[in-house]
């Protein structure tokens, strides 16, 4: 299977962890990381240092200042369930990002949760459609 095929694997958040479901969730997670990485790079962002072993971080410049982006997922099956595919984010200048969707006006956090039966491609498409509206190279 290619990365494109992995982006089409549905991941059921909260599903009972089986060997197959954990393996599929890891493949889908890795596909989502590649999709977000390409998007961030294309729009002038770069990888940044991660504070956690199981996530990947980027810094993306936006009209609201720098937006730290992370793809997170714990797909080891230790919890007994499979986590969903999530893209977490935080604007470094929360006061500038007020009014952007439901971003937290104090911390600048804005997260996109892939809940239900979603593929990495579906999670990425939903996230990138909204984030595209605040990119430096996009008109308001």
Three-state secondary structure readout of 87-108? EEEEECCHHHHCCCCCCCCCCC
pLDDT 10s digits, 81-129: 667 788 999 999 999 988 788 889 999 999 888 776 788 899 999 999 9
Task: Return the number of other C-beta atoms located less than 10 Å from residue 80's C-beta.
Answer: 8
pTM across the whole model: 0.84
The residue written with tokens 């190279």 in the block is 137
pLDDT digits (tens, 9 = 90+) for 6-60: 777 777 666 677 888 778 888 888 889 999 999 999 999 998 876 555 567 899 9
Rounded to whole angstroms, the Cα distance separating 105 from 101 reads 10
Residues near 27 by Cβ (< 8 Å), separated by ≥ 6? 1, 6, 9
Provide the pLDDT for residue 140.
47
- Bridge partners of 59? 46, 68
């Amino acid at each position: 299977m290619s990365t494109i095929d992995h982006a089409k694997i549905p991941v059921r958040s909260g599903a009972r962890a089986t060997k197959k479901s954990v393996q599929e969730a890891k493949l889908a997670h890795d596909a989502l990381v590649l999709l977000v990485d390409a998007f961030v790079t294309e729009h002038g962002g770069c990888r940044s240092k991660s504070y956690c072993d199981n996530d990947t971080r980027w810094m993306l410049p936006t009209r609201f200042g720098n937006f730290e982006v992370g793809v997170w997922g714990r797909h080891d099956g230790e919890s007994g369930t499979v986590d969903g595919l999530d893209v977490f984010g935080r604007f470094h200048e929360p006061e500038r990002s007020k009014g952007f969707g439901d971003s937290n006006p104090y911390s600048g956090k804005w997260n996109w949760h892939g809940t239900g039966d979603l593929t990495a491609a579906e999670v990425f498409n939903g996230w990138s459609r909204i984030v595209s509206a605040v990119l430096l190279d996009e008109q308001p």
